Amino acid sequence: MPRMDDTTSAPPATPPKAAKRPSSATHHGIDVADDYAWLRDPGYPEVGDAAILEHLKAENAWFETRMAPHKNRVDALFKEMRGRIKEADKSVPQKDGEWLYWIEFEEGAEYKKWWRRPVGAAEGYGKDQLILDEPALAKGKEYFRLGAISTSQNGRLLAYSVDDNGSERFTVRIKDLATGEHLPDEIPGTLSALIWVVGDTGLIYSLANEQWRTDNARLHWLGKPLEEDVELYHEDEEGFRVGASLSANETWVILSTGDHETSEVRLLPAADPLAQPILVRPRQKGLEYDVDERDGVLYVHANDTHENFRLATAPLDRPGEWTTLIEGSNSFYLTGVELFRDFYVVEGRLGGLDRIELRYYDDPNRIEPITFPEASYTASLGNNPEWAMQALRVSYESMVSPASAFDYHVAERRLELLKVQEIPSGYDAELYTTERLEIIARDGTPIPVSLMMRRDRAKGGPLHLYGYGAYGIAIPPGFSTTRLSLVDRGFAYAIAHVRGGDDLGRAWYKAGKLESRINTFTDFVDVAKGLIERGLTQAGRISISGGSAGGELMGAVINSNPELWGAVVAHVPFVDVLATMLDASLPLTPGEWPEWGNPIEDAAAFALIRSYSPYDNVRAQAYPPMLVTAGLNDPRVTYWEPAKWVARLRELKTDANELLLKTNMGAGHGGKSGRFESLHETAEEFAFILWQLGIESPPKAATR
């Protein structure tokens, strides 16, 4: 098949128009028509239908034609963005056993290399060992993504998995680090972590089934054929997914299964994974929990007594008897717990801001928070692989502070700065300001907004508003070098922490899902109106973006309030919500019903989803300029969702504004791989925004 930027034929003069092929289905007595259902290839995940491929090719050709006059802008933005990346860069080494491990990018490289050297060896004295060479693995491939990577406990073997087409089916290989050779073992079709067990003679993994669901945990013995692999656990409930991890002390394999609202955990001895598993507590609808173990005591992070979770303990021989150690709280959202030999670390959010606390097994009243200097930031534990850690690796950034790596010396209660993200083209944080606003939604709820801009920005200028709002995923107020290409051209950049994420706790998440889903959309609109009322921007001067479920958000707000937006970018947008939730054969659908509702069985869920599903609510009205992306191999948001949506928009919209669809024919949900290939797509996105908002001025200097 030719590349989508094939220039052998004349550029198209008009946008493509998809054929209408009447199709309908009846649910709960209601007929749902879909003239563009044919864009779904019946042979998916293989896409071979000539008419479908021709249509996607035509859309890509139209994208190339309309963006061609802006090539210089795209190139300039790409050069800017690349200039902010330290091309030859490496992470701070971290000790794990007898080795120090780090990753490194070479000048111009799209992918990183993984290195190690013996503890105590001087840097650069011939002891550095290249353990995995991603550029070599990616050579000649249009797409490359490293999945799991795991070094054996004795440090000799490296298991890793690779996806080379964006389909999220990874092939596992095992490398002998002493010889540099690969073992003959090869496991295709995985979608999981890789867990070493039984003295590094076995590897636990999960296969993706035909619907991309991991309904299993399997054990592979090194040197044995795949046919002899043992299924340790199989999940029969359709919407549940299985995952495996090691306890912090590496004594237990933790087998977890669950969907978006219910979980269940079993424990297997890492030294004998074929033993009878220990069920911690049987699944109960709405009960979510995770587990770790120390000295025969289970530490259980659970939402059974409070939606913001508590921490409980239980004896290993009576794993279902939970005694509260840290009570659940309305003010503190306990997001996770990490155990170490001498202490444990509690992570959570207080008032929407990250909080990290050290606590001690022998003194429940001893609480040591790690404090940070800024009023708005994001902080978390980094890579801390050892059981007996004396200094904790911590990551920190804010919207104006580049990413920093610290070691927190536990005994001294002291943060040591190890590295700050370097921006070669220059960056002066004093030129920028960040704040956290609250804008009152139409139902009286204050919605947090993280905002960044230059101090010399003109009032009322352009503003970019980003949102997601689903699955209880918070959007942290972190640092972005690409964002500066908008901010230095006079944009304010805002993140709307709308309901549906868990930015303010579990109640915040629940207030944007199922029957409360509409809150996510109205929050975003109300934030935009509130920013206008505060004089920060004007209607029609706001660009917006979101991806996946955030793309659904984009689709909903252009239907409801098209006049507010000057440019819209929807990445792999989940816009055909009703049809997807009605199709149990699709990869994500059964596991998604707790998030969106089950319109197959529930007439009320059907009616609600039908009322907001972006594709089903496109109507004859003026729409803002839009750039839409898709991935042909995307198993999460299938390519036909954005393709159908754009087709219906082209049919019904009453304006002459730009509507562009770009489908990556060799990529999946995350777009192109590689740090510069993906950067080029961001440059295209920003060029589109600047074009549509009529901004031609070059950026202001990033340093004084």
Among 430, 442, 458, 625, CA closest to 518: 442
Q: Burial letters for 114-149: b for 16+ Cβ neighbours within 10 Å, e otherwise?
A: bbbbeeeeeeeeeeebebbebbebbeeebbbbbbbb
**Which stretch of DSSP H or E encloses residue 526?**
helix 518-533
How confident is the model over 528-543, as a mean pLDDT? 98
pLDDT at 669: 56
Report d(CA 251, CA 195) in Å as an integer. 12
Domain boundary among 385, 406, 422: 422
* pLDDT band with cut points at 50, 70 and 90 for residue 670: low
Distances (CA, A) of 689 to 90, 290, 464, 627, 677: 33, 43, 9, 9, 19
How confident is the model over 540-548, as a mean pLDDT? 98
Q: What is the pLDDT of residues 389-432, one digit of tens each?
A: 999 999 999 999 999 999 999 999 999 999 999 999 999 999 99
Domain boundary among 360, 393, 422: 422
Pair 400, 440 in one domain: no
How confident is the model over 543-562, as a mean pLDDT? 98
> Is 621 a domain residue?
yes
pLDDT of residue 537 exceeding 80, the answer is: yes
> Is 460 a domain residue?
yes
Domain boundary among 357, 392, 422: 422
> Is 278 a domain residue?
no
pLDDT of residue 587 exceeding 50, the answer is: yes
pLDDT of residue 105 exceeding 80, the answer is: yes
Report d(CA 119, CA 97) in Å as an integer. 8
pLDDT at 550: 97
- Other residues' Cβ atoms within 10 Å of the Cβ of residue 56: 23
pLDDT of residue 158 exceeding 80, the answer is: yes
* pLDDT band with cut points at 50, 70 and 90 for residue 144: very high
Pair 361, 507 in one domain: no
Pair 575, 677 in one domain: yes
pLDDT of residue 4 exceeding 80, the answer is: no
Share of the chain above pLDDT 70, in %: 97
Pair 402, 447 in one domain: no
pLDDT of residue 649 exceeding 80, the answer is: yes
pLDDT at 210: 83
Determine whether 70 is an active site residue.
no
pLDDT of residue 57 exceeding 70, the answer is: yes
Share of the chain above pLDDT 90, in %: 89
Q: Catalytic residue among 41, 290, 502, 634, which?
A: 634
> Is 389 a domain residue?
yes
How confident is the model over 65-91, as a mean pLDDT? 96
Structural domain including 608 reads 25-82+428-692
Pair 38, 56 in one domain: yes
Residues 6+ away with beta carbon under 8 Å from 459: 535, 536
Report d(CA 230, CA 219) in Å as an integer. 5
Among 169, 111, 170, CA closest to 140: 111
Pair 544, 686 in one domain: yes
- Other residues' Cβ atoms within 10 Å of the Cβ of residue 27: 15
Report d(CA 37, CA 276) in Å as an integer. 48
pLDDT at 1: 30
pLDDT of residue 695 exceeding 90, the answer is: yes
pLDDT at 2: 33
Judge whether 92 and 419 are in contact, CB under 8 Å.
Answer: yes
Judge whether 168 and 208 are in contact, CB under 8 Å.
Answer: yes
Q: What is the pLDDT of residues 324-345, one digit of tens each?
A: 999 999 999 999 999 999 999 9
Determine whether 548 is an active site residue.
yes
Report d(CA 704, CA 430) in Å as an integer. 9
* pLDDT band with cut points at 50, 70 and 90 for residue 3: very low
Q: CA torsion angle for 121, 122, 127, 128 (degrees, to 10)?
A: 110
* pLDDT band with cut points at 50, 70 and 90 for residue 384: very high
Distances (CA, A) of 219 to 184, 211, 268: 16, 21, 12
> Is 1 a domain residue?
no
- 605 token code pair: 């869920």
Pair 543, 602 in one domain: yes
> Is 440 a domain residue?
yes
- Strand, coil or helix: what is 547? strand
How confident is the model over 177-191, as a mean pLDDT? 96
Judge whether 139 and 109 are in contact, CB under 8 Å.
Answer: no
Provide DSSP, 278-327.
EESS---TT--EEEEEETTEEEEEE-SS-TT-EEEEEETTSTT--EEEE-
pLDDT of residue 6 exceeding 70, the answer is: no
- Lowest-confidence segment of 296-310, 472-486, 599-613, 656-670 by average pLDDT: 656-670
Which residues, in sequence order, are bridge partners of residue 620? none
Q: What is the pLDDT of residues 7-49, one digit of tens each?
A: 457 889 999 999 999 999 999 999 999 999 999 999 988 899 9
Report d(CA 154, CA 96) in Å as an integer. 11
Q: Catalytic residue among 497, 571, 669, 680, which?
A: 669
Domains held by the chain: number: 2
* pLDDT band with cut points at 50, 70 and 90 for residue 116: very high
Residues 6+ away with beta carbon under 8 Å from 698: 489
How big is the chain, counted in residues? 704
Determine whether 669 is an active site residue.
yes
* pLDDT band with cut points at 50, 70 and 90 for residue 5: very low
Judge whether 626 and 551 are in contact, CB under 8 Å.
Answer: no
pLDDT of residue 213 exceeding 90, the answer is: no
- 542 token code pair: 């706001």
Provide DSSP, 115-177.
EEEETTPPTTSS--EEEEEHHHHHTT-S--EEEEEEE-TTSSEEEEEEESSSSS-EEEEEEET
Residue 338: phi, psi to the nearest 5? Answer: -125, 125
pLDDT of residue 703 exceeding 90, the answer is: no
Residue 126: phi, psi to the nearest 5? Answer: 80, 5
Q: Catalytic residue among 548, 613, 673, 680, which?
A: 548
Pair 606, 479 in one domain: yes
How confident is the model over 70-79, as a mean pLDDT? 97
Is the torsion defined by CA of 296, 301, 303, 309 positive or negative? positive
Report d(CA 151, CA 173) in Å as an integer. 12
Tell me what the pLDDT averaged over the chain comes to. Answer: 94
pLDDT at 167: 83
Is the torsion defined by CA of 206, 210, 212, 215 positive or negative? negative
> Is 534 a domain residue?
yes
How confident is the model over 682-697, as a mean pLDDT? 96
Provide DSSP, 575-616.
--HHHHHT-TTSSSHHHHHHHH--TTT-HHHHHHHHHH-TGG
Q: How far apart are the first and last CA of the chain?
A: 50
Pair 413, 519 in one domain: no
Q: CA torsion angle for 649, 654, 660, 661 (degrees, to 10)?
A: 10
Among 617, 535, 525, CA closest to 565: 525
Pair 522, 373 in one domain: no
Report d(CA 554, CA 521) in Å as an integer. 8
Pair 581, 634 in one domain: yes
- Strand, coil or helix: what is 79? helix
pTM, whole model, 2 decimals?
Answer: 0.91
CATH number of the domain bearing residue 657: 3.40.50.1820
Report d(CA 700, CA 704) in Å as an integer. 10
* pLDDT band with cut points at 50, 70 and 90 for residue 694: very high
Pair 485, 417 in one domain: no
> Is 699 a domain residue?
no
Residues 6+ away with beta carbon under 8 Å from 215: 209, 234, 235, 236, 240, 241, 242
